Amino acid sequence: MSEPTRAVTPLTLFEAVLPLLVMLVLFVAGMAILEMGTELLIAVMLGASAVAGAIAARHGHGWDAIQRATAEKLAGVLPMILILLCIGMLIATWVFSGTIPYLVYWGVKLVNPRYLLVTAFLATSVMSVTTGTSWGSAGTIGVALMGTAAALNAPLAATAGAVVSGAYFGDKMSPLSDTTNICAIGAGAQLYDHVRHMLYTAVPSFIAALIVYTVAARLSPIATDGMPASAQGLLGNLEDHFRLHWIVLIPPVLVVASIVRRVPPALAMAGASAIAALIGMGFQGFSLQSAIISAVAGFRADMIPTVGGDVAALSSGFTTLVERGGLYSMANTLIVVIAAFLLAGALDASGALDLIIGRLLRTVRGVFGLISATMASGAVTIALTSHAGVTALVVGELYQKAYAERGLAPENLSRSLEDSVTVVEPIMPWTVTAVFMATTLGVPTISYLPWAVFCYGGTIGSLAIAALYSRTGYGIKRV
360 CB-contact burial (10 Å; exposed 0-12 / middle 13-18 / buried 19+): buried
Structural contact between residues 286 and 280, judged by C-beta atoms closer than 8 angstroms? yes
Looking at 111-155, list the stretches that DSSP marks H as alpha helix, in order from N- to C-terminal side.
116-131, 134-137, 143-151
Considering only 101-105, 117-121, 212-216, which range has the smallest mean pLDDT?
Answer: 101-105
The pLDDT tens digits for 388-418 are 776 777 678 778 878 888 888 999 999 999 9
Identify the three-state secondary structure at position 478: strand
Burial class (CB in 10 A: 0-12, 13-18, 19+), 400: middle
Mean pLDDT of 94-102: 88
Residue 184 CB coordination number (10 Å): 27
User: Which range has the top average pLDDT, 141-155, 156-170, 316-330, 334-348?
Assistant: 156-170
pLDDT digit string, tens, across residues 202-260:
999 999 999 999 998 888 766 555 566 666 777 788 888 888 889 998 998 888 788 67
The model scores a pTM over 0.85: no
Q: To which H or E segment does residue 268 belong?
A: helix 265-282
pLDDT digits (tens, 9 = 90+) for 264-285: 878 888 998 999 999 999 998 8
**Could you give the count of Cα atoms lying within 13 Å of 226 in the half-sphere of its Cβ?**
4
Report d(CA 107, CA 144) in Å as an integer.
8
* Among 246, 244, 251, residue whose Cα is nearest residue 295: 251
pLDDT tens per residue, range 46-72: 888 889 888 888 888 888 888 888 888
226, with CB counted inside 10 A (0-12, 13-18, 19+), is: exposed
Residues near 263 by beta carbon (within 8 Å), at least 6 away in sequence: none
DSSP type of residue 10: P
Which is it for the CA torsion 217, 220, 223, 229, positive or negative?
Answer: negative
Closest CA to 371 of 479, 460, 431, 455: 460
Q: Which residues contact 238 (CB under 8 A, 6 or more apart)?
A: 101, 104, 105, 244, 318
- Indicate the pLDDT class of residue 289, thresholds 50, 70 and 90: very high
Residue 379 neighbours by CB under 8 Å, 6+ apart:
420, 421, 424
DSSP state string for 357-414: HHHHHHT--HHHHHHHHHHHHHHHHHHHH--HHHHHHHHHHHHHHHHHHTTB-HHHHH
| Separation CA 160–CA 447 (nearest Å) | 9
Report the pLDDT value the prediction gives residue 30, as an integer from 0 to 100.
Answer: 78
- Per-residue pLDDT, averaged over 27-48, amounts to 76
| CA dihedral of residues 140, 263, 428, 374 (deg, nearest 10) | 150
pLDDT of residue 307: 67
User: Confidence band (pLDDT; 50, 70, 90) for 165?
Assistant: very high
Q: Mean pLDDT check: name the lowest of 35-39, 82-86, 208-212, 335-339.
A: 35-39
User: What's the CA gap between 45 and 270, in Å, rounded?
Assistant: 31
With 80 as the cut, is the pLDDT of residue 337 above it?
Answer: no
Instruction: Return the C-alpha torsion angle 169, 171, 173, 176, nearest 10.
Output: 140
The single-letter DSSP state of residue 350 is: H
In whole angstroms, what is the distance from residue 389 CA to residue 421 CA?
Answer: 9
Task: Map out the domains of the chain as residue ranges.
Answer: 78-330
